[in-house]
Structure 1
Amino acid sequence: MGRSRGGLTTKIHALVDAEGRPIRLKLTEGQAHDGRSAADMLDTIQPGNILLADRAYDSDALREKMSARGAWANVRAMPNRVKTFPFSAWVYRQRNAVERFFNKLKHFRAVATRYDKRDDNFLASIQLASIRIWLRSYESVS
């Protein structure tokens, strides 16, 4: 999808719930900025929710958008940021739900190897894998 020195690259943006189940998925070019690319995904965040994101999503616009929605953006600030914001390291540790989702997603061969050349087909295979992740969360373990 996107061209860089390493070849064609694609980023997967995911908004997951507290259980690590995907809510919104989006693909962007590998060279696109994370914060600007995923701004439209945040429309599903409700008042009282907490957004946990990594440093790539640190921007004043994102924090203002979340506060206008009644949500709190617990995003680790970039090291060169002058203005500081409230940040809870304990809450930020819960962000591993996103990392666990990507780990589960990479267990699907079609996603891990990216055989699909078109971005719509690749997004479809990611969505199918996400459906299977959702279904596994409802399976009985006993």
Structure 2
Amino acid sequence: MNTKLHAVTDTIGRPIRFFMTAGQVSDYTRARALVNGLPPADWLLGDRGYDADWFREALVGKGITRCIPGRKSRDKTVKYDKRRYKRRNRIEVMFGRLKDWRRIATRYDRSLKVFLSAIALASTVLFWL
């Protein structure tokens, strides 16, 4: 079973929202679910997987400034704040903390519902620590 975990965190790297997709699905195709549930924010830091024109326009429509580098296959380069993008390591630290939980790191649970429940439990603990 191959799945991807997508997360929304706050400025200090605490998990706020999660959703999962199949592993072979592209990141930006399922980002539509992410846009509708975003909390009020000034900035959104995302990796190259979320580089899509419609996603960028949706963020502007919500009043969120985006900091997403363009994919390498993009014809026209996209400008983004490189200094601000370096703060994306907080998201990676959050995923590393989640993987401290052996059940999540090894994908011990076969059921998606049970696996997402384990992630919710771990993220609740991470949020308050």
TM range (shorter): over 0.9
Residues 91-106 of structure 1 mapped to structure 2, 5 A cutoff = 91-106=84-99
- With normalisation by structure 1, the TM-score equals 0.85
Match of 1:63 in 2: 56
Match of 2:11 in 1: 18
Q: Which runs of 5+ in 1 are unaligned?
A: 1-7, 137-142
When you count strand as a share of all residues, which structure comes out higher? 1
Distance 2:108 2:31 in 1: 24
How far residue 14 of structure 1 moved from its aligned partner, in angstroms, is 0.5
Match for residue 89 of structure 1 among 66, 82, 86: 82
How far residue 109 of structure 1 moved from its aligned partner, in angstroms, is 1.1
Distance 1:85 1:17 in 2: 24
Q: Deviations over 1:62-117 (max 9, x none)?
A: 10000111111110111121233331100100111110000000000110111111
Q: Establish whether residue 29 from structure 1 lines up as the match of residue 27 from structure 2.
A: no
Q: Establish whether residue 110 from structure 1 lines up as the match of residue 103 from structure 2.
A: yes
How far residue 42 of structure 1 moved from its aligned partner, in angstroms, is 2.3
Distance 2:39 2:80 in 1: 19
Q: Establish whether residue 73 from structure 1 lines up as the match of residue 88 from structure 2.
A: no
How far residue 11 of structure 1 moved from its aligned partner, in angstroms, is 0.6
In structure 2, what residue type is equivalent to 1:18? T
How many residues are paired up? 128
Match of 1:128 in 2: 121
How far residue 36 of structure 1 moved from its aligned partner, in angstroms, is 1.3
SS in 1 for 2:113: helix
Distance 1:13 1:71 in 2: 18
SS in 2 for 1:122: helix
RMSD: 1.2
Match for residue 9 of structure 1 among 2, 8, 32: 2
Q: Please identify runs of 4+ aligned residues in structure 1 that moved more than 3 A.
A: none
Distance 1:14 1:98 in 2: 8
Give % identity.
37
Aligned 8 A contact 1:45 1:71 in 2: no
Over alpha carbons, which structure has the higher Rg?
1
